[in-house]
């Protein structure tokens, strides 16, 4: 059974949505072809007071998507050459999002080899920048509604529930990556990943 997640899935507490996204599947449609990846690692960025979040410095041209409706893609460029893909959560007007850090490629069996780089023409997806590159997610996807709705039934990108359940005991909570500047928020255990999964970006 496969179903595209709708807006009400994302309209909840960000930490809850982040954990619920583990084990869901990212589907990217490009010219009639589909790429699929199981989400194995995420980070939560929780509201205007979270100093690690871009939204903590107020609503700007870049961050306005986070202040908008849940279930929209927030994509931005980082370090000049990589993109990060986030999904907006919670209510309209409250800036929060979940960063997709790593997925497990469903098309590929050579897990160990593929972790490092391109093997058998299938790009690596164990890291936010690499995932975006592999799934061709760039700033054109910023502000796209990734939910199913009547007006536009098939977005170019969506999240699917295929009935996989991740046990609570298999979810690891850890510190977020690259947010040393975030003072009392830098040590929050708001990164979640599937225990022992080979595709997680860092141990």
**Could you list the residues that contact DNA (CB under 7 A)?**
43, 45, 52-55, 57-58, 60-63, 66, 74, 76-82, 84, 86, 97, 99, 116-117, 124, 127-131, 176-179, 181, 201
Burial of residue 94 (number of CB atoms within 10 Å: 0-12, 13-18, 19+): middle
- Cβ proximity to DNA: between 3 and 183 the closer is 183
Which one, 62 or 162, has the nearer CB to DNA?
62
Please give the DSSP secondary-structure letter assigned to residue 191.
Answer: E
DSSP-derived secondary structure letter, 76: E
Sign of CA dihedral 137, 143, 148, 151: negative
Whichever of 51 and 172 has its CB closer to DNA, that residue is 51
The residue among 112 and 165 lying less far from DNA, judged by its C-beta, is: 112
Q: For DNA, which is the closer residue by CB, 117 or 154?
A: 117
Please report the DSSP string for 28-44 in residue order. Answer: EEETTEEEEEEEEEEEE
Nearer to DNA, 57 or 111 (CB): 57
In the complex, minimum distance from the CB of residue 61 to DNA, in angstroms, rounded to a whole number: 4
C-beta of residue 60 within 8 angstroms of C-beta of residue 68:
no
Q: Mapping DSSP to helix (H, G, I), strand (E, B) and coil, where does residue 7 land?
A: helix
Q: How far is the CB of 171 from DNA (least distance, A)?
A: 19
Residue 102 Cβ vs DNA, minimum distance, rounded to whole Å: 8
Shortest distance (Å) from residue 162 CB to DNA: 24
Q: How far apart are CA 96 and CA 45, in angstroms?
A: 6
Separation of alpha carbons 93 and 7, rounded Å: 15
CB of 97 to DNA, least distance (A): 5
Report helix, strand or coil for 115: coil
- The distance of closest approach from Cβ of residue 63 to DNA in the complex, given in angstroms and rounded to an integer, is 5
Euclidean distance between CA atoms 69 and 97, whole angstroms: 11
Going by C-alpha positions, the residue among 38, 52, 30 that lies closest to residue 97 is: 52
């Amino acid at each position: 059974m496969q179903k595209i997640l709708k807006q009400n899935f994302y309209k909840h507490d960000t930490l809850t949505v982040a954990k619920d996204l583990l084990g869901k599947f990212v589907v990217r449609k490009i010219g009639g072809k589909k790429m699929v990846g199981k989400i194995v690692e995420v980070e939560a960025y929780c509201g205007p007071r979270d100093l690690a979040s871009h939204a903590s410095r107020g609503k700007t041209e870049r961050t306005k998507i986070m202040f908008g409706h849940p279930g929209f893609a927030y994509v931005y460029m980082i370090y000049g050459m990589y993109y990060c893909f986030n999904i907006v959560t919670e209510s309209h007007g409250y800036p929060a999002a979940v960063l997709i850090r790593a997925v497990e490629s469903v098309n590929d069996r050579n897990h160990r080899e593929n972790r490092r780089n391109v093997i058998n023409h299938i790009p690596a997806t164990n890291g936010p920048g690499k995932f975006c590159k592999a799934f061709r997610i760039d700033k054109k996807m910023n502000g796209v509604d990734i939910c199913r709705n009547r007006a536009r039934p098939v977005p170019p990108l969506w999240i699917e529930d295929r009935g996989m359940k991740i046990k609570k005991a298999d979810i690891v909570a850890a510190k977020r990556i690259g947010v040393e500047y975030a003072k009392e928020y830098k040590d929050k255990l708001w990164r979640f990943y599937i225990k022992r999964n080979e595709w997680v970006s860092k141990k």
